[in-house]
Amino acid sequence: MKTHVAALCLALPLALLACRSEPKLPSTDAALASAVSLELKNPSAPEPGVLCTGQPSEAQLRELAAQGYKTFVNLRPTTEQGTGWEPAVVGELGLTYANLAIGGAPDVTEANARALTKILDTCERPVLVYCASSNRVGALYGLGEFYEGRASAERALELAKSAGMTRLEPRVRELLALPAAE
């Protein structure tokens, strides 16, 4: 009897630990498949639980919420055409909305990259991060990984491109102290 009780006392905490699990985040493949099926613009999933895209429509945002997305991060200033409606919709759904207004290359800075990284590191996931085309998203995502010491300059540039960066590459190269593209 003592042996069984001792074994139970050891097994119970392990069983409880196994039952306590983090929410299952969509894999990068699942997130991309969902984004493609929703026809989101320039989708990428640089890590599990993070989906980067261009501006979603209200219907796309609602569908992502129905799929379990918890946080929506908008990198567009509310003065840009086609944005500004999201806080009301996300609030109505009882989810989290954040706006980090990045107007263009002058706003692609270390401080803003770190701000996005902080949001991503502390928000409830899965999270959608978007701007008009995903260009700003990719730039800040890659830079954030560099400034946090998670990626070399070369790797950060690759991450930025894979997360949607296009026209902001010269600015990102400048911040990463990399030579201009040939």
Using pLDDT thresholds of 50, 70 and 90, give the confidence band for residue 120: very high
> What pLDDT score was predicted for residue 156?
98
Domains of the chain, by residue range, sit at 26-176
> What pLDDT score was predicted for residue 23?
55
> What pLDDT score was predicted for residue 5?
41
Cβ–Cβ < 8 Å for 62, 91: no
Residue pLDDT, tens place only, 11-43: 444 333 333 334 567 677 888 888 888 899 999
Secondary structure class of 83 (helix, strand, coil): coil
DSSP β-bridge partners for residue 97: 72
As to burial, measured by CB atoms within 10 angstroms (0-12 exposed, 13-18 middle, 19+ buried), residue 12 is: exposed
Secondary structure class of 163 (helix, strand, coil): coil
> What pLDDT score was predicted for residue 18?
37
Least confident of 21-35, 54-68, 98-112: 21-35
> Has residue 110 got a pLDDT over 80?
yes
Residue pLDDT, tens place only, 63-86: 999 999 999 999 999 999 999 999
Secondary structure class of 108 (helix, strand, coil): coil
Rg over alpha carbons for the chain, rounded to the nearest Å, is: 20
Domain 26-176 is found in CATH 3.40.50.720? no
Percent of the chain exceeding pLDDT 90 equals: 77
| Other Cβ atoms within 10 Å of 33 Cβ, number | 14
> What pLDDT score was predicted for residue 3?
45
Edge-to-edge strand ranges of the sheet holding 50-53: 44-47, 50-53, 127-130, 71-74, 96-99
Distance from chain centroid for Cα 168: 18
> What pLDDT score was predicted for residue 107?
98
Cβ–Cβ < 8 Å for 153, 178: yes
DSSP β-bridge partners for residue 44: 52
> What pLDDT score was predicted for residue 37?
85
> What pLDDT score was predicted for residue 24?
65
Cβ–Cβ < 8 Å for 141, 168: no
> Has residue 176 got a pLDDT over 50?
yes
> Has residue 161 got a pLDDT over 70?
yes
